[in-house]
Amino acid sequence: MRRFFRFVVALFEGLRKTLHLLLLLAIFGFVVGALQGSIPKMPDDAALVIRPEGEIVEQQSGDPLEVALAEARGLGRNETTLRDLTDAIEAAKEDKRIKTLVLEFDAMGAAGQPTLDEFARAVTSFRESGKKVIAYGTGYGRDSYYVAAHADEIYLDPMGLVVLEGYERYRNYYKSALDKLGIDVNVFRVGTFKSAVEPWIRDDMSPEDRISSQTFIDSLWSTYIDVVAVARGMEPAALRQYVDTLSPTVKAAKGDTAKVALDAKLVTALKTPLEVEKRVMELAAKDDEKETYRSVGLDDYLRIVRAEDKISRHPDARVAVLVGSGEIVDGSGGGGVIAGDDMSALIRKARLDQDIKALVLRIDSPGGSVLASEKIYREVLAFKETGRPVVVSMGDLAASGGYYIAAPADEIWASPATITGSIGIFGLFPTAPRALDKIGVNTDGVGTTPLSGELRLDRSVGPAAAMLLQATIERGYEDFLARVSKGRNKSRDDVDAIAQGRVWSGRDAKDRGLVDQLGSLDQAVAAAAKRAGLEEGKYERDYLESDKSWAQELVASVETSAASLMLRVAGPDDLMSARVLQAAKRDFGPVEREVVRFNRYAIADRLYAHCFCTPY
């Protein structure tokens, strides 16, 4: 009997293990299915079709799951990365399977001029291979037209328009609103032109900020006109006249905006989408099944060429490229910010990798935390101490803290339209005794030192605390000047004369010695390789990114796949609600960002080097 029971127990144990194994196999099958997408097919004699969606950025911001969910809801993307665009176009230039490049701009959002310049340079490089570039849009704005102007042929819908609205810098100011709420914002800063805190202490733009802002947006607009005019083979004066007289010219043309653009030679011809298809079919093979031209989209093409690239690469000598995009914040962070701890760790990783012969920092940042900036600065110095070169390539913005981390580089490259400088420091601390007084709440008590109770939200900042904070800010500014002075081989006073929080365009910054060269990321990488003694074609460009564990990748992929599957059965009401939420986020996003920034900066013991200077 005992043997029988042992047999039964062993049988059930074996059955349990078998079922457990089957369950694990089922889970594994689900995971593999979640991780494995459809394998894209690469046609021959095809057109590469690029439709940038949303803002063009250096790095994707936000949670990857939220991005995937937005796409699953049919809402498209909020962002397209510059690297994806340039990598695809660069690969297609040498790819015999790609016969032409088609650019469609109807879903493209905003982008900084330096970002647009990198995109346009890739388009021009593609054209130099002898292949045609076709641009199409139902309408072109300032940013999309900058890139389209570099195409061989620009087509506009007969009902479309081309509006080049120029650059502006308008901000919301909150002083009166804060006064009504009884909130005082105590500001401590150094720099005549350091305007980052003005929205909370003024109701309008200061004269100093007005001068600085007008100077750099005029410089951006001048650069825009010159570049676009050259790309279109027209005189800059003619392009300016089109922009300045658009309203009366359209009125005289009885509202025919497309004809006005055609007459001004801003577009090659007016064509409908079907007519553009026919034109592309003359350049690429026809897809008989779909009655259109053979094509491959951006995402599928990148999956193909990046997989092929991984197989063929032999990265014994590498130039590391580290992209830092967004505000500089303390600690660790996700996409859309430069987290001091994360970026420092990546630079340290590059320093310890002997196959990395040079480091290129691609900076697109308005700055932020001084402490986080200092951490990054120290790691850059440590990399330089190994004898390997550091080169900075500036994107749209490399101002304030963004310039702080660039200062120690051996060489700094910028676009003529990069916004940089803004060398200055500030701190702020809100107090609300007047708000409490309005509802009859009073604060009283005793303390043991001159600083006791002087940094409370319910009391005004006292004189001892104000003196301490201002002294700290002034020391921070001197430290900033010292970093720049050392990195740029200038005296403290020479740096101070061009600092004071003033913002400069890349061209003006070069004239003042804050930037060494004007050019692209590719040129900066080549300069770094040259400094490292690497021959052209004998090194690889290696983008450094924070590593995710296998488990993190797995969980993220399964979450995304499961959520996408659920959304496929969502009704139209669900999709409509999502679109309404997206529209609200777009319209109220600027106010939301101001609230987040204020909350981030309203800490008494923190210093910030930040430039709120985006002109678009």
In the chain, where are the structural domains located?
Answer: 46-168+211-305, 316-442+450-547
In this predicted structure, what is the pLDDT of residue 35? Answer: 44
In this predicted structure, what is the pLDDT of residue 579? Answer: 44
Q: Are 266 and 242 in contact (CB under 8 A)?
A: yes
In this predicted structure, what is the pLDDT of residue 597? Answer: 53
132 is catalytic: no
Which helix (H) or strand (E) segment holds residue 48: the answer is: strand 46-50
Q: Are 356 and 387 in contact (CB under 8 A)?
A: no
| 615 secondary structure, DSSP code | -
In this predicted structure, what is the pLDDT of residue 122? Answer: 97
Q: What is the signed CA dihedral for 61, 64, 70, 71, rounded to 10 degrees?
A: 110
Q: Is 397 helix (H, G, I), strand (E, B) or coil?
A: strand
Q: Six-digit token pair at 593?
A: 């960002």
Q: Are 347 and 320 in contact (CB under 8 A)?
A: no
Q: Are 387 and 354 in contact (CB under 8 A)?
A: no
75 contacts: CB under 8 Å, gap ≥ 6: 578, 579, 582
46-168+211-305 and 316-442+450-547 share one fold = yes
**Closest to 121 in 3D by CA, of 416, 545, 535:** 416
Q: Is 220 helix (H, G, I), strand (E, B) or coil?
A: helix
260 contacts: CB under 8 Å, gap ≥ 6: 161, 246, 249, 250, 253
The architecture CATH gives domain 46-168+211-305: Alpha-Beta Complex (3.90)
Give the bridge partners for 392, in sequence order.
Answer: 361, 412
Which residue of the set 212, 213, 369, 400 is catalytic? 400
Q: What is the signed CA dihedral for 48, 54, 59, 65, rounded to 10 degrees?
A: -100
Which residue of the set 132, 194, 357, 490 is catalytic? 194
Cα(560)–Cα(519) distance, integer angstroms:
39
| CA-to-CA separations, 64 to 37, 60, 144, 313, 561, in angstroms, rounded | 16, 8, 26, 28, 12
| 108 secondary structure, DSSP code | B
Q: Is 137 helix (H, G, I), strand (E, B) or coil?
A: strand
* Positions in the chain whose pLDDT score sits under 70: 1-39, 62-77, 310-315, 334, 547-616
| CA-to-CA separations, 351 to 163, 178, 299, 344, 359, in angstroms, rounded | 47, 47, 32, 11, 9
Give the bridge partners for 189, in sequence order.
Answer: 426
425 phi and psi angles, rounded to 5 deg: -135, 145
In this predicted structure, what is the pLDDT of residue 450? Answer: 86
Q: Six-digit token pair at 333?
A: 């962070």
In this predicted structure, what is the pLDDT of residue 409? Answer: 97
Q: Are 222 and 415 in contact (CB under 8 A)?
A: no
In this predicted structure, what is the pLDDT of residue 613? Answer: 63
Q: Is 505 helix (H, G, I), strand (E, B) or coil?
A: strand
316-442+450-547 belongs to CATH 3.90.226.10 = yes
290 is catalytic: no
Q: Are 231 and 150 in contact (CB under 8 A)?
A: yes
Side-chain half-sphere CA neighbours of 286 within 13 A: 7
In this predicted structure, what is the pLDDT of residue 606? Answer: 57
Spell out a b/e string for 443-462, using b for 16 or more CB atoms within 10 Å of the CB, else e: eeeeeeeeeebbbbeebbbb
Q: Are 75 and 42 in contact (CB under 8 A)?
A: no
Q: Is 515 helix (H, G, I), strand (E, B) or coil?
A: coil
290 contacts: CB under 8 Å, gap ≥ 6: none
Q: Are 614 and 589 in contact (CB under 8 A)?
A: no
Q: Is 104 helix (H, G, I), strand (E, B) or coil?
A: strand
**Ramachandran category for residue 96: left, alpha or beta (phi over 0 → left; psi -120 to 50 → alpha):** alpha
**Closest to 67 in 3D by CA, of 435, 574, 564, 612:** 564
Cα(119)–Cα(142) distance, integer angstroms:
14
Cα(522)–Cα(86) distance, integer angstroms:
10
Strands 503-505 and 419-421: antiparallel
In this predicted structure, what is the pLDDT of residue 584? Answer: 46
Q: Are 196 and 594 in contact (CB under 8 A)?
A: no
How many other CB atoms are found less than 10 A from the CB of residue 338? 27
